[in-house]
Structure 1
Amino acid sequence: MSAPQFSPSRRSALAALAGVAAGGSLPFTPSAAAATPATAAATTTAPDAAAPASGGRVPVVMDASDPWHFAAHPAGALTPRTLPGTPACLEVSDGQGVLATLTTGARTVTLRGPKRWFTEQKKLFSEPEKHPDPEKRFTDDFDRTLTGTGWGSSPCFGTWTTHNGADGDYFLQGGRAVIQLATTNLSRHALLSDKAVGDVTAAARVSLDKVPTGAPVSVALTFAARDVNNHYRARLIFTPAGEVQFLLEKELADVAGVLSPAVTVSTDFTAFDHWWIQVEKTGGVLRARAWRKGSAKPDWQHSLRDPEKDPAKVFDAGTLGIRALASSGATVPLQARIYDFEITAAEWAEPPVVAHDTWVRVLPEPFDGTWTPALEQRIGAWAGDTSPDALAYASMYRTFAPAVTDTALQDAQVIGEAGYSPKDDAGRRSIGADFHEYMALPWTFPASGESAPNPDPKWKGYLDCSGFVRMVYGHHMGIPMVLDKNFDGRNLPRRSRDQSASGPGVVVAQGTGAAPSLAALRIGDVVFFDATADSDSPETPGGVVDHTGIYVGQDQQGKLRFVSSRKTPNGPTMADLGAKSILNGAPGDLYTKSLRVIRRF
């Protein structure tokens, strides 16, 4: 099998994905050039600070009112110019400036085109098979087996971290999370690692293993949490008399204050009664409610705005978690149990946005350094082409990308939000799926004569980091692929380490034991990392390239963003859950310090 041509169903879905701005939409327009694996845009330019009209829910947006769409392309005769430096590049200009840049030895070309906004909002789908159920966007049911203490990794929101008390006070048991309250008057917190969540709707189902004696015990759902000493929380208080009281609090600099006073929601609590706590944060409005499992969900029992006038003391964004406390005088030990943690809506307060007019397309053969009439004709045709390029395809597997099937490939899904891999029994993700496994199809590789049989169905809808790069540059953009043979500098291997060492194109920059210079980096370049450089584990040895992604451009903060498929966010991302997807961050940032090779396919 080889990369298919677009079917009508795919064209229409891609048009929808192109997005809407200023009240209009512009499809990825098919053209004569679209049948050939394409190419795109030029320089890294500073983006507009404004977010796209979609608010981050469409991975890539074009502005239908952009004057580019109403001008001639190219605008005048094409003039080539050899650029100084390494690798050798040819810059092609028309009457409006630089139109394209070609690199000797590489097939990718950057082109000037209509401006686009690439962005990403919070992912809420735990697993691809759960996408159709809007009420189960994110659910941590704690159904995993861990060795040792803690709550492990939670789908889509990162790892649970625990704070205060002993490590053994936090553990999983029989499909529930437990906080062991072994001492009184000591708050215990379990927090998710995603600290950028702004607006959110979340709920937790909790209980105690006994009715408190001596003094009350409480369980709270925390939100907009900067840390354990700065957060909002909706708190259930269980009293020795069997009362259940519910209030909304704020803790600021380790000082707790009541935002909305306690209401009594029950007078007959018994051990193992399950109670739901739900919170909602929309802008500055905070709401909370609580109810016994099996009873009707009540109206919001607390609804207000934070009265604080100092913006620095209002929590616009943070993480979520659980807080438990046995008040002074309570009889311990006692367990707070959490059975489900659900998030039905969540948005990052400041999603990453990359905006520029660069498109990335692919020549049928590597550029040999000679400007020819055939190349002039091809670049001229691409100048007005808005069919999908490499950056568009890279966006089509990120959050909120629509599912697209291809009749030419047995109606397999060929585009749509991807995961990284299924979870194992401990809730961890392992090296995942190649491009054809995402589509649940066997595949033949003409470049090497190799064949991959029917994949395990468990990989359907998933892409690991190198599989994602192969999906974009191999399957969609037409660079020939191989599995374990013919690593000849023209074909695209399966593994990131082989793509780095023997992949197609040319090495732009390389470092040994440290990150190389970013001076020659261009949009569309493939970046490779030794992400486990500090590891001494035989399973993840340092000193070996083990991760890869595609450089997308500069964001609104001046950070150089790349998109890659990763375990913690469970799939392709250009955002920062688990680690920052940036190349020029702080010296200690994982991908900034572990970059090793930049290759231009």
Structure 2
Amino acid sequence: MPKRKGRPVLHAVTVLALLTGSAYFTYELRKDEQAKVPAAQSITDNADLQNSGAKATGKQTWERLNNPARSVLRDGKGAVVATFTDGARTATLKGPSRTFAEPANTASRVVTDDWVRLMPEPWTKGSENEQWFKDWFKQYYGSQEDDIFAIAFQYVQGAPVKKDSSGVPYAGDAVFGPFKEDGVDRLEQNDFYDYLGIPYTFRNGSTLYPRKERYRALDCSGFMRMVWGYRARFPLMATNALGDGLPRSADGMARSKTGVDIIKIQGPSPWYVRPTNIDVLQPGDLLFFKMDHRTGNHIDHVGLYLGLDTDGHRVFISSRKEVNGPTMGDKAGASRIDGNGFYAQLFRSAKRL
């Protein structure tokens, strides 16, 4: 009997279709989806600077911009290819369009061609000429290896469990934390090693141990430490005071010298004031909020800025009590920092790692 040659190809196509239809994270390259998205958020200082280096030259060109100081790489047609901020390891690279969605908690969707990655060293003026950068850029520009956004969405409701070679589940649906004794509020201070259920030794030699009742739990800063630190390998402090790298709490992160302050905390404590201009934000920035009078002068919430959703609003993802885990949802439907919604009114500062 002759072999049926078409079946393996048909099977591969079927599997691919199922994967791309995943509820929590999909790749979309369709032009009709991209056409629905508002114009890309400006990463320049103002409308005049947006096109300052956008002339078609037929070859890649570098441009220096301020506020914050950064280098922008443009393609031969003048379109932005990548952005690198002085003092930050975060790089935003253009790549294939993707859709991030979380239908269990919000109708908001983000269709983006921004890929957020960590460089091995902080950017400085002229780094484009350094060999470390040339090697890194060659490896990651155009790569579809998981970036910061892809990693973050591996913890939303319905995300499948992923295990490492030792059988430790390092990804999958995370909760914010177990209930307190009152059965109403949830316990905070759930770090990435609580989620993993394994001890973790930090670079300063400190070893911290997980608590069984907090297994698979990540509070807001624990979620950021999981994504940036444990998964993307950004250095982590054991606490807000021990070691170097990303501190333990939202307040520690907001006030740390680590990274670059894109929007500084301003106004009188304990509530501070909402920023008047958020145009300088770039996908991948850490966003900080003042939400609870019980935390005194402390900044008490942190999230990851995703950019514009398909309705043209600036949205973010974070872990919180109301949804019980990582989400881009909100009581009002979506986590927005523009307009006058709950999180928009409580937004206070931003940092680029």
Question: Shorter-chain TM-score: which interval?
Answer: 0.7 to 0.9
Q: Is 2:195–2:218's contact at 8 Å kept on the other side of the alignment?
A: yes
Match of 1:93 in 2: 74
Contact 1:26 1:63 in 2 (8 A): no
444 and 77 in structure 1: CA distance in 2 versus 1, 3 angstrom threshold: farther
1:62 to 8, 12, 27: 27
Answer 1 or 2: higher relative contact order, Cα 8 Å, separation at least 6: 1
Gaps in structure 1 of 5+ consecutive residues = 1-19, 28-52, 67-75, 124-347
Q: Is the 8 A contact 1:493 1:503 kept in 2?
A: no
Relative to total residues, which structure has the larger strand share, 1 or 2? Answer: 1
- Structure 1 residue 364: Cα displacement: 1.1
Are 2:108 and 2:334, in contact at CA under 8 Å, matched by a contact in 1?
no
2:29–2:98 CA contact under 8 A, matched in 1 = no
Give the TM-score of the pair, scaled to structure 1: 0.48
Aligned counterpart, 2:280: 520
Q: Is the 8 A contact 1:479 1:492 kept in 2?
A: yes
2-structure distance, mates of 1:385, 1:547: 32
Q: CA RMSD in A?
A: 2.5
Q: How far apart are residue 411 of structure 1 and its match?
A: 1.2
1:412 to 2:150 alignment = no
Q: CA deviation at 1:555?
A: 1.2
Instruction: Confirm or deny: 8 A CA contact 1:528 1:548 kept in the other structure.
Output: yes
* Aligned-partner Cα distance in 2 for 1:485–1:117: 35
Sequence identity (%): 32
Q: Rate the CA distance shift 1:580–1:107 in 2: closer, same or farther, 3 A.
A: same
Any idea what the Cα deviations from partners look like across 1:76-114, whole Å, max 9, x if unmatched?
Answer: 85421101x311010012235221100000000000000
Which structure has the highest helix share of the two? 2
| Rounded Cα–Cα distance in structure 2 between residues aligned with 1:394 and 1:464 | 13
Query: 1:590, CA displacement in angstroms?
Result: 2.4
Mapped pair 1:457 → 2:217:
no
1:252-331 equivalence runs, <5 A? none
Match of 1:385 in 2: 143
Aligned residue type for 1:417: D
Contact 2:240 2:252 (8 Å CA) reproduced = no
Q: Match of 2:348?
A: 596
The answer for the alignment partner of 2:45 in structure 1 is: none
1:485 Cα deviation after fit: 6.0
Give 2:214's aligned amino acid.
Answer: W
Where do residues 226-241 of structure 1 align in structure 2 (5 Å cutoff)?
none
Shift of 1:378: 2.2
Name the SS for the 1:492 alignment partner: coil
Q: Which residue of 1 aligns with 2:55?
A: none
Q: Which residue does 1:530 correspond to in 2?
A: 290
Residue from 177, 187, 190 that aligns with 1:430: 187
Once the two structures are TM-superposed, the CA of residue 65 in structure 1 deviates from its matched residue by: 6.5
Q: Report 1:4-153 matches (<5 A).
A: 24=16, 54=21, 58-63=23-28, 78-83=60-65, 85-95=66-76, 97-122=79-104
Cα-to-partner distance string for 1:34-69 (whole Å, 9 max, x where unaligned): xxxxxxxxxxxxxxxxxxx84xx6222113678xxx
TM-aligned CA deviation for residue 403 of structure 1: 0.4
CA deviations on 1:448-501 (whole Å, 9 max, x unpaired) are 222113x1111111100000000111111111001236678x610111101110
Cα distance in 1 between the residues matched to 2:95 and 2:304:
19
Distance 2:157 2:84 in 1: 31
1:366 maps to what in 2? 122
The SS at the match of 1:551 is strand
Distance (Å, rounded) in 1 between the aligned partners of 2:187 and 2:240? 24
Tell me the matched-pair count.
306
Aligned to 1:3: none
Structure 2 CA distance for partners of 1:95 and 1:443, relative to 1, 3 Å: same
Give yes or no for contact 1:432–1:459 (8 Å, CA) kept in 2: no
Which residue type is aligned with residue 90 of structure 2?
T
Q: Distance in 2 between matches of 1:503 and 1:421?
A: 29
**Could you tell me whether the CA contact under 8 Å between 2:29 and 2:97 is conserved in 1?**
no
Matched, 1:439 2:196: yes
1:504 is aligned, of 258, 278, 281, to 258
Q: Unaligned 5+ residue runs, structure 2?
A: 1-11, 32-57
Q: TM-score, normalised by structure 2?
A: 0.80
SS of 1:109's equivalent? strand
The 1:412/1:23 distance shift into structure 2, 3 A limit, reads closer
Instruction: Give, in whole Å, the separation in 1 of the partners of 2:13 and 2:111.
Output: 13
Worse overlay, 356-365 or 369-378: 369-378
CA contact (8 A) 1:62 1:117 kept: yes
CA distance in 1, matches of 2:348, 2:13: 38
